[in-house]
Chains A and B, each alone.
Chain A
Amino acid sequence: MHNIFVYCEIDEGQVADVSLELLTKGRKLANELGCKLEAAVIGHNLKGIEKEIYPYGVDTLHVADDKRLAPYTTLPHAHLVVNLFEKIKPEVALFGATSVGRDLAPRVASKMRCGLTADCTSLVIGDHKDNKSGKEYKSLLYQIRPAFGGNIIATIINPETRPQMATVREGVMKREIFDKTHKGSLKTIKAADLLTDDLFPVQILERHMEKKKINIKASPIIVSGGYGVGSKENFELLNELAEVLGGEVGASRAAVDAGYADHERQVGQTGVTVRPKLYIACGISGAVQHTAGMSESAKIIAINNDPGAPINQIADYSIIGNIEDIIPKMIKFYKKNTK
């Protein structure tokens, strides 16, 4: 069995969150398949980077360090990744669905002539039987993603080609340290020998990057609170639920005005408009100024002690009761059902 591979992206000198999330997922898949987890970091000034990566359970880390490799440009990174794939022949290869990953992964997949699925929301191991040929495939990667503007969920497989490639957005998978003391082995990619001048047609002339901000718009899950949450302490419960589910916290204007949350988290006409796949509205009555910013969410859960609150009319599920009771239970049963 060949291994699981994760391309680790570097963001402001550190391994990007999305890459750590993928390593967490990759480690679980490797355990399930009984194979190893490999990763690559390609960039410059990477000394000591393995210390950030090993705790996530990486067995072999490939490092290419060269000043021409940062900031990222497509061709040299693609060349090194393809070269590595031809050597280590991974079973599965995961990339972040970022500006970099979505530029790099298709170029690599085209060169390898293998299948790639973008923006997966779930990755599961499963078998497959081809109805036409009757051929059976063991332990394929099911790449599950929304398609058609989020109106369908498709399960994609790559039965014949390797690696089975997928990209995943930041915040979709959970990030979890595997073992603080875990040590892998470091392999140096001899970048200077592999990089040729023709890989650098694109020159970066200028770059303006902003510091990382809270961006609740990009979050697939939003746990949002209104004035009905009642206190800053109760808002802490929303943070806990958001963290467990891998989402962000949002707020109504009334909650922001009451000082429960920062303005940058405000959803609605005077805040941001969001379309997550799950919106959990806690203690929000559902005034139009708020619902205008969230009514296109794919699924809405309203938690409210008022059965007549307008939010219940647009919710898929209305839970009637107090958030102090309900949120801890949601956390408990989420953990129980995901084990």
Chain B
Amino acid sequence: MSFRIIVLAKQVPDTRNVGKDAMKADGTVNRGALEAIFNPEDLHALEQALLIKEERKDAEVILLTMGPPRAAEIIREALYRGADKGYLITDRKFAGSDTLATSYVLSMAVKKLAPFHLVIAGRQAIDGDTAQVGPQVAEKLALPQVTYTEKFTEIKDEEVTIQRRLERGVETVSTPLPALVTVHSSAAQCRPRNARLLMKFKHARTISELQEETKDYTEMLNNKPYLQIDEWGVSDIDAGEEQLGLSGSPTKVKKIENVVFAAKESIVLSSEDNDIDRLMKELIDSHVVG
């Protein structure tokens, strides 16, 4: 049996480079204007898996992502860097999932890939910064969890030793396997794409993507079955519909307020009472100060 490592990753809008057109007039996010990227800490997670693969010949790295059809892009990115296989979990019914519903879906998909040794995820995604999905997947799978991983210091068949980065220090822990681990941004950067792997996997496609292609892939896929990226929907992972999407999400968004300013304009105030009063009121009302 191979030493199976499942990496959980998410494609996210690059919220670090928000431009003027990132918000629509109605105050909602214009996802189209933001570049979609491999969530940075998930790349750190992938690197940890690839480092284990260098050490253990029997290691197998599988990337699992839940998202819209275009999220297959990050599966290819993972294949170019050394992952062995990827699965795209996609279904319209997943739309509106909060962290609890998302962790349910991911846990059901992970179960399909059992037996496995490690589930590795980034600590958090830059679009939500919640850091909740990792621990929630661990709970759903009844696995021990080790968050904020900086590096694996020892890998054994049935146990790993991990150095964790905490707010004010480091901690070294051991956990039996299987376990779920989340990786901190202070861990090693992910390696770049490998030219040979890029050539090998550049035509890797999901079924949805093949339907969009004008080129005929039939022969290529027959000769090179590894180019087929598996796509799973609700029924493929035996998920209960009441636990996913909007109905499986206990949190609801009541209101969204846009805090991006189209053009920065400076307001000049005097030291008069009414100016300062108005400023403090504005800061309180906009939750800048509490």
Contacts and interface: CB of A to CB of B under 8 A. Distances in A.
A41 to B, nearest CB: 19
Given A116-B251, A117-B251, A153-B257, A326 B169 contact: no
Interface string A191-220: 000000000011111111111110000000
Given A149-B15, A155-B253, A337-B277, A107 B138 contact: yes
Interface string A77-92: 0100000000000000
B155 interface: no
Interface stretch (B211-219, B224-232, B279-287): B279-287
A334 B15 contact: no
A147 B129 contact: yes
B283 A204 contact: no
Given A110-B136, A147-B127, A151-B18, A320 B145 contact: no
A319 B279 CA distance: 10
A205 B136 contact: no
A236 B171 CA distance: 38
Contacts of A142: 254
Given A151-B259, A278-B283, A337-B281, A156 B127 contact: no
A103 B135 contact: yes
A216 to B, nearest CB: 15
A319 B267 CA distance: 8
Contacts of A207: 169-172
A158 interface: yes
A307 B16 CA distance: 32
B136 A326 contact: no
Contact of B169 (A105, A113, A122, A208): A208
Contacts of B204: none
**Residue picked from A114, A128, A154, most chain B C-beta under 10 Å:** A154
B174 interface: yes
Nearest to A170: B167
A75 interface: yes
Interface stretch (B43-51, B54-62, B64-72, B96-104): B96-104
Interface stretch (B112-120, B195-203, B268-276): B268-276
A113 B253 CA distance: 17
A203 B127 contact: no
A147 B22 CA distance: 13
A153 B280 contact: no
Interface residues of B, number: 78
Interface residues of A, number: 90
A75 B127 contact: no
Interface in A113-166: 113-119, 121-122, 128, 142-144, 146-161
B156 interface: no
Interface stretch (A176-184, A251-259, A309-317): A309-317
Interface in B170-188: 170-176, 179
A288 interface: no
A188 interface: no
B276 A330 contact: yes
Contacts of B261: 316
A98 interface: yes
Nearest to A301: B279
Given A111-B139, A128-B254, A278-B289, A151 B260 contact: yes
A116 B22 CA distance: 27
Closest 5 CB pairs of A and B: A149-B15, A321-B271, A115-B250, A209-B169, A115-B251
Given A201-B175, A202-B175, A206-B171, 12 more contacts: A74-B145, A78-B139, A109-B132, A116-B132, A118-B129, A149-B16, A202-B174, A245-B289, A298-B259, A298-B288, A319-B268, A330-B276
14 contacts: A102-B131, A103-B147, A114-B100, A122-B287, A142-B254, A147-B128, A160-B250, A210-B169, A301-B279, A312-B268, A315-B266, A319-B271, A319-B279, A337-B281
